[in-house]
Amino acid sequence: MSEELYDVIIIGGGPAGLTASIYTSRQGLRTLIIERKQLGGRAWGPHTIENFPGFPMGINGTDLMEKFISQSRKFGVEFKEETFVGLTDMGEAKMVMTRKGIYLSKAVILTIGLQRKSLSLPGETEYKGRGVCYCAICDGPFFKDMPVAVVGAGKEAVEDALTLSRTSSKVYAIPGSKGYGEGFEEELEELAQLSNVEILEGTDIASIEGEDVVTGLTLKNGPTGKLDVNGVFLILENVGTGSMIKDAGIETDTGGCIQVDENQETNLKGIYAAGDCACSGMQVVTAAGDGGKAGLAAFRFVRSLKS
């Protein structure tokens, strides 16, 4: 076990975690970020982010995240490239476990993201960020006046198809061979009435095709064997945040989203969650906002312990 006691440990180094670290470290709190993969999270990459304030011409995701990281380092944030495996609330101290060791902290901020299920389709990995997308609000504007496909059978998939129908020339809604679920009939009826939307039930995706970018979809069955599209939006159900979160006693909803209050605090005192794992917005700007709130709340909590 590490003999060092941090003021704040942040699990996850995406926009929410990096922003939280800026707020806590700037206030003089000893802050550690644990990130097993790439700092910057899903925002890291060659795609252009057009809706982050302050960059009217847009900014490359990698460039934006490098600015976040640089600002965190400026205030003395420590970083460890390790895999988070568990969390125990011991009252005034929290124990964070990784595959390499155990760390103690007065407060913990979870910014672990929310992974989506993958179809493991041929072409999905190759064209991610080059036509394969996971969020209509995030990436829909890039496909203005272009044909797109929305793959998914849940309410979120239907809502994203509705969003894309306002800007894309054609939207193919593909729920899979089992069809759409229940509980959102009103949205589904609205989708079915749109002239530029075609619902393809009873068919599954075989592969995503392309050259440098996505050019189409190959279908396993259905009325046509191939669709010409420029974008494929995979809107599948969320993968839960993991058994280690539930084992820690942290409350989540049925979709795996961590439940937080207005200060991003979970049901456990001194443990916060921000960004996609709290399912509030799924945007870089909302993740940063959540991270700022969590960082301030953690600072107030640590200060209260010291007083």
Interval 217-259: pLDDT, tens: 999 876 668 999 999 999 876 554 566 788 889 998 877 889 9
Question: Contact at 8 Å (CB) between 226 and 218?
Answer: yes
Q: Is the pLDDT assigned to residue 281 strictly greater than 80?
A: no
Q: Residue 253's CB: how many other CB atoms inside 10 A?
A: 11
Query: Higher pLDDT residue, 128 or 167?
Result: 167
Q: Is the alpha carbon torsion for 236, 274, 85, 22 positive or negative? A: positive
CA dist 109 and 87 (Å) reads 11
- Average pLDDT on 98-108 reads 92
Q: What is the pLDDT of residue 37?
A: 82
Q: What is the pLDDT of residue 239?
A: 55
9-23, 119-133, 257-271: which range is least confident on average?
119-133
Q: What is the pLDDT of residue 63?
A: 94
CA dist 136 and 277 (Å) reads 18
Q: Where does CATH 3.50.50.60 sit in the chain?
A: 5-115+238-306, 132-234
Q: What is the pLDDT of residue 302?
A: 96
Q: How confident is the model at residue 194 (pLDDT cuts 50, 70, 90)?
A: very high
Say yes or no: domain 132-234 is CATH 3.50.50.60: yes
Residues 6 or more apart whose Cβ sits within 8 Å of residue 8: 20, 21, 24, 29, 30, 31, 32, 105, 106, 107, 108, 109, 295, 298, 299, 302
Q: What's the CATH architecture for 5-115+238-306? A: 3-Layer(bba) Sandwich (3.50)
Q: Is the pLDDT assigned to residue 100 strictly greater than 90?
A: no
Provide the β-strand partners of residue 170: 147
Q: What is the pLDDT of residue 300?
A: 97
Chain mean pLDDT for the chain: 90
| Reported pTM | 0.74
